[in-house]
Amino acid sequence: MIGKPAGMFPIRDHNPSGRTPHVTRLLIAVNVAVFLSYWFGLPSDLGIARFFMAWGLVPARIAAGEGYATFVTSMFLHGGWMHLIGNMLFLHVFGDNLEDRMGHGRFAGFYLASGVAAALAQIAADPGSVVPMVGASGAIAGVLGGYLLLYPRARVDVLFIFVVFFKIWPIPAWIVLGVWFALQVFSGATTPTDAGGVAYWAHVGGFVAGLVLAIPAFLAAGGPRFWSVTKGAPPHPATEYALTPSRLPRVVRRSAGRGPWDG
């Protein structure tokens, strides 16, 4: 799953798209459809575990020269409802703007290449692992890296959940994504690679790959001149929302989820 600070959820940005994000919407639809097909179609948790072993990315199998198709298939599998919802929320918030800047076809290639780079980073961290990696978050981490390069000062509304209430604050993207990336590096460095759970090095690898792969779009927009003109903000008027942080109600906190290596 896309790792995040506890109680902190980006829910939308103030960066409108100029075109319909067909690829982003298609990726979300395919991820949801695939998840529903096996979550309700397989008879038991054991059946799902076997399905993950067959179609998730197992580093030891790749190291043995097998299962290369799982570089792609693993991107469309998720270990549970919260894993799926969290990943699709991040893709929805940040994917449309990269698709708008790159175009539909280039964005699709960017997304898949980021996912492959993320998988390679996780394999490099533990090439002998037999734990399957599933999830779209390596590819989505690439989207976050590209977004950071192109729109570092775009405002992102972040939902902060405290003990019994929540608030939304607009925060510059460079802070939201910079904190997220720093936490992935720290968590990857302090979590045993054979522990299962979140594939932090996949997140790190995907994010770095996204930064690099977004450079052509950055240069096409003007490179450093693009930043100097826009001050790192989107080059168009920001979206404004009716709700303000001070007018939101209080709610009770809820949480749930499960998964193998959540990528």
* DSSP assignments along 32-79, one per residue: HHHHHHHHTTSSSHHHHHHHHHHHSB-HHHHHTT--TTHHHHGGG--S
Per-residue pLDDT at 195: 61
Mean of per-residue pLDDT scores for the chain: 86
| 105 class by beta-carbon count within 10 Å (0-12 exposed, 13-18 middle, 19+ buried) | exposed
What is the residue extent of each domain of the chain? Answer: 8-262
Q: What is residue 57's DSSP assignment?
A: B
Token output for 13: 């940005």
Does the structure show a pLDDT above 50 at 128? yes
Helix, coil or strand: residue 158? strand
Does the structure show a pLDDT above 50 at 179? yes
What pairs with residue 157 in β-bridges? Answer: 12, 170
Q: Comparing 77-91, 114-128, 186-200, which segment has the lowest mean pLDDT?
A: 186-200
Closest Cα to residue 221, out of 207, 232, 205? 232
Please measure the distance between the N-terminal and C-terminal CA atoms of the chain and give it in whole angstroms. 5
Per-residue pLDDT at 250: 40
Q: How confident is the model at residue 263 (pLDDT cuts 50, 70, 90)?
A: low
Is residue 59 within 8 A of residue 123, CB to CB? The reply is yes
Token output for 41: 């179609």
The alpha carbon of residue 92 and the mean position of all alpha carbons in its chain are separated, in whole angstroms, by: 10
d(CA 110, CA 53): 26
φ/ψ of 169, rounded to 5, equals -125, 135
Per-residue pLDDT at 255: 37
Token output for 40: 């309700």
Token output for 32: 């949801």
Token output for 7: 């109680």
Q: Comparing 20-34, 169-183, 241-255, which segment has the lowest mean pLDDT?
A: 241-255
d(CA 22, CA 35): 20
Q: Comparing 159-163, 181-185, 214-218, 259-263, which segment has the lowest mean pLDDT?
A: 259-263
- What number of helices (H) and strands (E) belong to the chain? 11, 6
Instruction: Give tens-digit pLDDT for 35-56.
Output: 999 999 998 999 999 999 999 9
d(CA 88, CA 140): 9
User: What does the radius of gyration of the chain's CA atoms come to, in whole angstroms?
Assistant: 18
What pairs with residue 167 in β-bridges? Answer: 160
pTM score, whole prediction: 0.84
> Which fold would CATH assign to domain 8-262?
Rhomboid-like fold (1.20.1540)
Per-residue pLDDT at 190: 87
Per-residue pLDDT at 253: 38
